[in-house]
Amino acid sequence: MTDPASPRYAPLYQQIKTLLVRRLASNEWPPGSALPSEIALAQGYNVSQGTVRKALTAMEKEHLVERRQGRGTFAARHSQQRSLFQFFHLMSDANERQLPDSRVISCRSGTATAAERNALTLEAGTPVTRIRRVRQLDGRPVISESLTVPTTLFPGLESRPLEQVPNTLYEFFEAEYGVMIVHATERLRATAATTTEAELLGVDIGTPLLAIDRLALNIENRPVEWRESCCHTAHHYYFNELD
């Protein structure tokens, strides 16, 4: 009798994928660098090219690698393009996607609150760094944003001058700290603008805002960033494709 809940067998290409992801996570191939060719990898693992190919195809679907015909396979880089299409879902009424500018209000360290510990699964007393900023689209303040990361993962972040906190954070996290955000979940609600939000966004208190609660995960599926964004949806909307 075998345990019916245990996996009966694991396809080779999944095992290969696991091994490749592990090497990727260990930074053996830094973002943007080329992986060995499919044939070389296949020889290394002593499997056929088709098996490696299937593993890479799965990894490409998860945005872990990029492949270009005639060039090779590359460790994914967190480009602005990717921030825009994978992570930023606000579009203007004219159906244009555009990355917002940021005005950083504060960037400080502290001790994780219960809510932060819960979201990021941290121990009591863990130090965290918090960023507050307002993001603008077409010159209008549209998003009031507040995010938390564990300080240990991003040392020194809290002591940067506010002007030197970059706009596209995930690109920065990757380049500066080797932390790759590859996946996220979002929870959306309608809320009423608080006094602070009203002031930051230039709207009346109580104006309906779209609150986005995001948890961002790294390549090992560990929570890395918790973010709350309050969006003024008078001239923009949150776009989602159901497929």
Partner DNA sequence: GAGTGGTCTAGACCACCCC
Partner DNA sequence: GGGTGGTCTAGACCACTCG
Nearer to DNA, 68 or 125 (CB): 68
Q: Does 240 bind its own copies (CB under 8 A)?
A: yes
Q: Select the residue interacting with DNA from 20, 29, 64, 73 (CB under 7 A).
A: 73
Q: Rounded to whole angstroms, how far apart are CA atoms 53 and 41?
A: 10
Rg for the chain, CA atoms, rounded:
21
Conformational region of residue 112, where left means phi above 0, alpha means psi within -120 to 50, and beta covers everything else: beta
Question: What secondary structure letter does DSSP report for 243?
Answer: -
Q: Does 43 bind DNA (CB under 7 A)?
A: no
| CB 82 to DNA: min, Å | 18
Q: What is the 3-state secondary structure (H, E, C) of 63-93?
A: CCEEEECCCEEEECCCCHHHHHHHHCCEEEC
Nearer to DNA, 68 or 242 (CB): 68
Q: Does 189 bind its own copies (CB under 8 A)?
A: yes
At residue 13, the 3 state secondary structure works out as helix
Which helix (H) or strand (E) is 134 found in, with range? Answer: strand 127-137
Q: Select the residue interacting with DNA from 21, 35, 120, 169 (CB under 7 A).
A: 35
Residue 9 contact, options DNA, its own copies, none, Cβ 5-8 Å cut-off depending on partner type: DNA
Q: Does 204 bind its own copies (CB under 8 A)?
A: no
- Helix orientation angle between 12-25 and 38-45, rounded to the nearest 10 degrees: 110
Q: Does 53 bind DNA (CB under 7 A)?
A: yes
Nearer to DNA, 31 or 127 (CB): 31
| CB 4 to its own copies: min, Å | 17
Cβ pair 59, 66 in contact under 8 A = no
Instruction: Give the interface with its own copies as residue ranges (CB under 8 A).
Output: 62-63, 86-87, 89, 91, 182-192, 206, 208-211, 213-214, 231, 233, 237-243
